[in-house]
Amino acid sequence: MRNRIQHMNFRLPLIVFTMCSALGLGPIQTTSASEKKPNVVLIMIDTLRADLLGCYGSPGDPSPELDTLAEKGVRIETVIGPSNWTRPSIGAMLTSQYPRTLGLYKERNEILNDRFTTLAETLKENGYTTLGVTANPVINSVFNLHQGFDEYVDSHVIFSWMKDAPESEQNRSLRRFKQLPSAPEVFEQALALLDSKSIDEPVYLQLNLMEIHEAWRPFNSLTRKEFKGRFKGLNGKRYLQALAQVSGDTSSFIETLRKRPGFENTLFVITSDHGQGMNDHPNVATSSFHGRIIYESQVRVPQIFYHPNSNLDKAVIDKPIQLLDLLPTLLDYLGLPALRDVEGISFAPLLKGEKLKEETSTEFYAETSYRKYRKIALYSPDWVYIENRDNHKGVNAFELQPRDKKSNGKKTDQIDDFPDIAATMRKKLHQWETAHPEEPPTPFSTGLTDEEIEQLESIGYVGD
């Protein structure tokens, strides 16, 4: 694990206190680094694209509770994720490193290398009790995304291709036979973790919810009956139904947690790892789900900061940011030392109604190597330049899509109309690739057998 030396400054007060006592100089008044730190609760609503929420412009009032939290806190208008499926995106979010730097590309047999420092590790080293619960087995501890947690609860349901993974995944139920854990189950597990511990220091609680991800399934959907009749006639009604459900569940959990002794001072962050196609790109093959394309529907995610009774400014931040900015922003907001060599920047001053110290880039990179799909993109405020390196039907090998309309492959591609813009963005993209070479993946085993790969393909749904 990297960047350990920068945390030594937290040991200095103890060293100084010990030396002064030994010399008979009397006690020195010191303040614990964790005394005034707020708890942090990071809630990742898997597969939630930004424009699904009412506060981002969705019709039909699908998320009134989350909208209320956004009104009471800070909502980031544009957040671009580094990938369009879970593990590389969450890995990048929690380390502020690009997926290619982490060596996270495919679903199977790729884990987060120990040499990378996670948000949980950093907070733990700075006095936090770190607890996590995931409903998504793609980020179970077998993939080493539990680094830095005092306790991490895996999803009890796994995908078929994971059944022969290392011992930690044995004796779990296969996905095709059971539902994944619901949000209420995840919240119940989180509260049980808190009840099981005597906690004096601040808490970092990280939760992953799968209602949106599972909404399209006719069987084993997590959507309850009372929500299934809503949003008739609207595109993506199943997703809106799941959103309405998880919106209420999440708000109820936040109110429950706020009433617990010790949680009066808590920062809640609500975000997602990636979005979903949802029939927005009808001329592009297999674009209704995620992982296959790199359009805004799949990489623009919501981000809401809610910290009652704090100096958090109530606002909407229009400055575009990337998901990799979350880690440095949280550390800065908490008054903790910044990590070195991270890709993101802190926008914590904006959360407090202040200006950033310097201008930062509004151009971001995203890519995917999901299954047979391989794409890379550069996002600017007005355009997205995409290279499709995969023979995907319905798109050109090189695309230039305007950001002010829904991308629809060749139908909306304007690369022939604006060749100079495309050439400039192509140059920037290739320079970024050169500066960020693809690192080899870190496997947890020798790989899958041919039989396992056939099983994976036969169920039609491999991982995320």
Residue 257 region by backbone torsions, left for phi larger than 0, else alpha for psi between -120 and 50, else beta: alpha
pLDDT at 28 over 50: no
Over residues 185-190, mean pLDDT = 98
For position 62, what pLDDT does the model report?
96
Question: For tokens 């789900």, what's the residue?
Answer: 289
- Give the mean model confidence (pLDDT) for residues 144-152: 97
C-beta neighbour count of 160 within 10 angstroms: 18
What is the per-residue pLDDT for 165?
66
Which phi and psi (to 5°) does residue 321 adopt? Answer: -130, 175
pTM above 0.85, yes or no: yes
Domain boundaries, the chain: 1-30, 39-351, 364-458
Category of 228 on φ-ψ map: left (φ > 0), alpha (ψ -120 to 50) or beta: alpha
Contacts of 218 (CB under 8 A, 6+ apart): none
Phi-psi category of residue 313: left, alpha or beta, with phi > 0 → left and psi -120 to 50 → alpha: beta
In one letter, which amino acid is 334? Answer: L
CA dihedral 222, 227, 231, 237 (to 10 degrees): 10
77 or 448: which leads in pLDDT: 77
426 pLDDT exceeds 70? yes
Residue 130's nearest CA partner among 114, 145, 116 is 145
- CA 92/CA 419 separation, integer angstroms: 32
What is the reported pLDDT for 235? 85
Q: In whole angstroms, what is the distance from residue 385 CA to residue 314 CA? A: 34
Contact (Cβ atoms closer than 8 angstroms) between residue 403 and residue 386: no
Is the pLDDT at 6 greater than 70? The verdict is no
CA 130 – CA 203 distance, rounded (Å): 6
Res 22: pLDDT: 42
Report how far residue 379's alpha carbon sits from residue 363's, in angstroms, rounded to the nearest whole number: 5
List, for residues 73-103, the tens digit of each pLDDT value.
Answer: 999 999 999 999 999 999 999 999 999 999 9
Per-residue model confidence as pLDDT tens digits over 157-187: 877 666 666 655 556 777 667 899 999 999 9
Q: What is the mean pLDDT of the chain?
A: 88
Q: Which fold has domain 39-351?
A: Alkaline Phosphatase, subunit A (3.40.720)
Comparing CA positions, the residue from 223, 225, 227 lying closest to residue 212 is 223
What pLDDT, on a 0 to 100 scale, did the predictor assign at position 364?
98
CATH for the 364-458 domain, from 3.30.1120, 3.40.50, 2.60.60, 3.30.450: 3.30.1120
pLDDT above 80 (res 452): no
Bridge-based pairing state of the strands 315-317 and 303-306 = unpaired
241-290: per-residue pLDDT in tens?
Answer: 999 999 999 999 999 999 999 999 999 999 999 999 998 999 999 999 99
pLDDT at 167: 53
Helical spans, DSSP H, in 223-347: 237-258, 296-299, 326-333
Quickly state the pLDDT bin for 445 (edges 50, 70, 90). low
pLDDT recorded at residue 455: 45
pLDDT value, residue 281? 97
Does the fold of domain 364-458 match that of domain 39-351?
A: no
